Amino acid sequence: MKDIIPPPPSIVRNDQQSIQELFQKYVVPSYARFDLAFSHGSGSHVWDVNGKRYLDLGGGIAVCALGHANPEITDALVKQSQRLVHVSNLYYHEPQGRLAQQIVRHLAPGKVFFCNSGAEANEGLFKLARKFGHDEGRFEVITAIHSFHGRTLAGIAATGQDKVKKGFEPAVAGFRHVPFNDLPAMRDALSPATAAILIEGIQGEGGITPATTEYLLGLRALCDEKKMLLLMDGVQCGHFRTGRFQSFQRILENFEPRTPNSKPFLPDGIAMAKSLGGGFPIGAFWVREEHADLLGAGAHGTTYGGTPLGCAVALKIMEVIEREQLADNARALGDWLKGELQRLANTYPHIIKSARGLGFMLGFELADKEQIPAFAGADKAASIQFVNRLHEAGVLTIPSGAQIVRLLPALNLTFQQAEEGVTAIESVAKSLA
Ligand SMILES: Cc1ncc(COP(=O)(O)O)c(C=O)c1O
């Protein structure tokens, strides 16, 4: 049979220009991409198609928990794919049950729903909130200004940033935003229709802002008082990145049960994705035991949620993280990195204003673009220009807003690699000072 459309010519020269031309012609231009095209990676290094090596401190935006081309992930993928790649959620299989068990083990009694992304994990939490409040006519979810919760219609309605909403009106009803870390503002915002509060433990896209202990404890008390769900988006800050499984566990470390009778802090639901699959697309949300059966048979679902393949990979990642104590690595090396970023802020105060974050979720704030002579007058934000200069120096980082540069490296980053990163950041800061 003759092809209706002739097959495309194969890419004979795997070069940057031909790849970019393919994108320009065939890929929806919804991303502002850097002029880099990658071909392969190993651990915390990736190579572009021109053969240049980069130290990856962005980790695919907090995704590549074990770096690139990890042999244990490859092995898990191959072995599971030889047994069973997919069965519908009409049936049972062991990897999904085991992965749910592992997630519960790191949190508290409850149950897990599996999906494919962070946005979907949050969507599930919104449905949980609506189901929870339904019989009393409550449906509203209050979130924080500068939050980010995904790009679906409800995700952008929940996100506390106007730029993601523009052009997609009317917004899904039932979401309002209040300043982050401001308990009185949250209390004032509640209405009789409010069913839940959703926050990130550390705002990621909003510029690396951790919740305070008082805020988390205050929100829990407020939710208990008003009978609302406290939901947390752990998509970026979760999965051992801060040194604990979830960021609230790290933030509240010194506040966990002080007396035998005091209850430990616990949200009612937590969204997860990104590092959970280390690059294999998988998302999940955990629901506390009390509400774990709210979404009964037929209430929610997705074809690919929790496939044997995805769950086998996620299980392997958890196994490696625990065996190699990578949460401790993220904590110790992250704290060292933060100290170094702070040192750079002290040394080059006209370029780097401050360092913030926990573990391997770090950011440094740049001075205003107009105050950095080499950046002044250019169209691009200071964060983008700094990230571009780091590319030239062979390091990948992630911009966040106009002035923050984020580091979200693999949890198995080594000390030597962290030093290599600091040297590059310092050389860029020095060249701008
Ligand atoms: C905190 C947070 N929530 C949700 C999402 C959306 O996740 P996904 O892109 O997998 O849909 C992101 C993505 O950056 C995120 O950082």
Substitution candidate for ligand 1 out of 274, 302, 404 with most atoms within 8 A of CB: 274
Probe target for ligand 1 pocket from 149, 151, 235, with the most ligand atoms within 8 Å of CB = 235
Give, using CA atoms, the residue closest to atom 16 of ligand 1: 236
Binding site membership of 233 for ligand 1 (Cβ less than 6 Å): yes
Q: Long-range contacts made by residues 217-222, C-beta under 8 angstroms, separation at least 24?
A: 217/252, 217/255, 217/265, 218/183, 218/186, 219/183, 219/186, 220/265, 220/266, 220/267, 222/183, 222/186, 222/187, 222/190, 222/197
Atom of ligand 1 nearest to the CA of 234: 1
**The domain over range 72-323 is classified in CATH as 3.40.50.720:** no
**Rounded CA separation 399/58 (Å):** 9
Note down pLDDT in tens along the chain; length 433 residues: 556 777 766 555 668 999 999 999 999 999 999 999 999 999 999 999 999 999 999 999 999 999 999 999 999 999 999 999 999 999 999 999 999 999 999 999 999 999 999 999 999 999 999 999 999 999 999 999 999 999 999 999 999 999 999 999 999 999 999 999 999 999 999 999 999 999 999 999 999 999 999 999 999 999 999 999 999 999 999 999 999 999 999 999 988 666 666 788 999 999 999 999 999 999 999 999 999 999 999 999 999 999 999 999 999 999 999 999 999 999 999 999 999 999 999 999 999 999 999 999 999 999 999 999 999 999 999 999 999 999 999 999 999 999 999 999 999 999 999 999 999 999 999 999 9
- Give distance in angstroms: CA of 121 to centre of ligand 1: 9
Nearest CA to ligand 1 atom 7: 118
| Ligand 1 pocket residue status of 235, Cβ below 6 Å | yes
The sign one gets for the Cα dihedral 41, 45, 47, 51 is negative
Distance, in Å, from the CA atom of 337 to the CA atom of 237, rounded to the nearest integer, reads: 17
Record the pTM: 0.96
Ligand 1 atom at shortest distance from the alpha carbon of 274: 10
Cα dihedral 158/164/169/170 (nearest 10): 0
How far, in Å, from the CA of 119 to the mean position of ligand 1?
6
Q: What is the pLDDT of residue 94?
A: 98
192 CA from centroid of ligand 1 (Å): 29
**DSSP secondary structure code for residue 305 in this structure:** T
- Probe target for ligand 1 pocket from 31, 115, 149, with the most ligand atoms within 8 Å of CB: 149
CA 9 to centroid of ligand 1, rounded, Å: 35
Specify the domain boundaries for CATH 3.40.640.10 within the chain: 72-323
Report pLDDT for 3. Answer: 61
Tokens of 325: 């104590």
The strand pair at 45-48 and 53-56 is best described as antiparallel
Q: What's the rounded Cα separation, in Å, for the pair 21 and 10?
A: 13
Q: How many C-beta atoms surround the C-beta of residue 185 within 10 A? A: 15
Question: 276-309: per-residue pLDDT in tens?
Answer: 999 999 999 999 999 999 999 999 999 999 999 9
* Dihedral angle computed from the Cα positions of residues 15, 17, 19 and 22, in that order, rounded to the nearest 10 degrees: -150
Q: Are 420 and 55 in contact (CB under 8 A)?
A: yes
Residue 5 has a pLDDT of: 77
Q: Tell me, in angstroms, the distance from the centre of ligand 1 to residue 33's CA.
A: 18
Residue ranges matching CATH 3.90.1150.10 in the chain: 16-57+326-432
- d(Cα 198, Cα 176) in Å, to the nearest integer? 10
Contact 381, 369 (CB under 8 A): yes
Give the per-residue pLDDT at 4.
73
What is the amino acid identity at position 159? T
Alpha carbon 415 to its chain centroid, in Å, reads 23
Q: Which fold has domain 16-57+326-432?
A: Aspartate Aminotransferase, domain 1 (3.90.1150)
- Residue 11's pLDDT is 56
How does pLDDT run across 321-347, given as a tens digit for each residue?
Answer: 999 999 999 999 999 999 999 999 999
